[in-house]
């Protein structure tokens, strides 16, 4: 008599997601370090405009999320990439799973991590506000808080999450390609630079990222791009051999 246990794809993916969340806890904790470094760099304002009127120079330092965000975006790329490295990919096969279930679990985990990263990045700005206001001797302009304009805040969080998701999707895709063939390590940067330098590539960039009528449209575009990259990753990983 054989006792074969049957697991559905859903069950396995659920177990894998729980397992991966546990596994990547350290990576999520590293996000905190990344944000703190970003915040330190933001201390003097991320952008400032100044002018001189009547011999008085006026400086307005804008403390926005940009620097933290660049760090977090890079982090997201690294995380997307890290999930595909051999030990992580192979350890899925020490447990129950198929390439599809692993990919789905990875994608779900990346989505969850992106949401966490987006929300914390948004909120990290408030830590800086409090520190600058309590310990800095400067005038400040009463700036909008979450509660002043909730809808706009949510849209801003949304666009951040979508951006992080897209970058992690790109990182993930890159990782899968490299797992398929090491040559992509060199090929992809070359390809990226080519796209950035050519006219049509720049037009594409402009179409996607610049000149959007509303944030909502941008969010939709970013999510669509993420889905495309994730779908490509699933296709590319489905034939990947393990422990060979």
Q: Which stretch binds another protein (CB under 8 A): 167-175, 178-186, 224-232, 234-242?
A: 234-242
Q: In this structure, are residues 218 and 209 in contact, taking their beta carbons and an 8 Å threshold?
A: yes
Taking the CA atoms of residue 162, residue 129, residue 25 and residue 238 in that order, the dihedral angle to the nearest 10 degrees is 10
User: Within positions 3 to 62, which residues make up the interface with another protein, using CB under 8 A?
Assistant: 3-9, 12, 15, 18-19, 22-30, 32-34, 37, 45-47, 49, 51, 53-62
Distance (Å, whole) CA 167 – CA 169: 5
Greatest alpha-carbon pair distance for the chain in Å reads 94
Least spacing, CB of residue 162 vs another protein, in Å: 11
Q: Site residues for another protein, window 187-226 (CB under 8 A)?
A: 196-197, 202, 205-206, 210, 212, 214-215, 218
Dist CA 112 CA 76 (whole Å): 12
Least distance between another protein and beta carbon 134 (Å) = 7
> What's the closest the beta carbon of residue 69 comes to another protein, in angstroms?
6
Residue 170 Cα to chain centre, angstroms = 9
Restricting to residues 168-187, which ones interact with another protein according to CB under 8 A? none
Size of the site for another protein (CB under 8 A): 110
Dihedral sign computed on CA atoms, order 140, 145, 151, 155:
positive
Helix spans in 181-214 (H):
184-197, 199-209
Residue ranges in 117-156 that form contacts with another protein under rule CB under 8 A: 120, 122-130, 132-134, 136, 138-147, 149, 152-153, 156
Instruction: Write the binding mask 83 to 122 for another protein: x where contact by CB under 8 A, - elsewhere.
Output: ---xxx-xx-xxxxxxxxx------------------x-x
């Amino acid at each position: 008599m054989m006792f074969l246990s049957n697991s559905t794809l859903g069950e396995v993916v659920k177990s894998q997601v729980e397992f991966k969340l546990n596994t990547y806890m350290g990576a999520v904790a590293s996000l905190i370090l990344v944000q703190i470094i970003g915040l330190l760099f933001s201390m003097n304002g991320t952008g400032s405009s100044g002018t001189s009127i009547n011999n008085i120079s006026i400086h307005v330092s804008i403390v926005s999320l940009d620097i933290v965000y660049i760090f977090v975006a890079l982090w997201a790329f690294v995380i997307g990439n890290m999930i595909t490295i051999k030990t992580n990919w192979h350890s899925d096969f020490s447990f129950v799973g198929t390439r599809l279930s692993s990919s789905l679990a990875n994608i779900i985990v990346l989505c969850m991590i992106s949401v966490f990263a987006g929300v914390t990045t948004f909120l990290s700005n408030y830590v800086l506000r409090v520190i600058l206001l309590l310990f800095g001797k400067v005038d400040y302009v009463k700036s909008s808080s979450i509660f002043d304009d909730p809808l706009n805040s949510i849209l801003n969080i949304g666009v951040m999450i979508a951006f992080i998701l897209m970058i992690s999707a790109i990182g993930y895709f890159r990782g899968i390609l490299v797992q398929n063939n090491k040559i992509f390590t060199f090929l992809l940067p070359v390809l990226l630079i080519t796209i950035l330098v050519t006219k049509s590539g720049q037009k594409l960039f402009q179409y996607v990222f610049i000149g959007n009528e509303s944030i909502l449209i941008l969010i939709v575009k970013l999510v669509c791009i993420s889905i495309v990259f994730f779908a490509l990753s699933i296709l590319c990983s489905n034939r990947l051999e393990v422990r060979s």
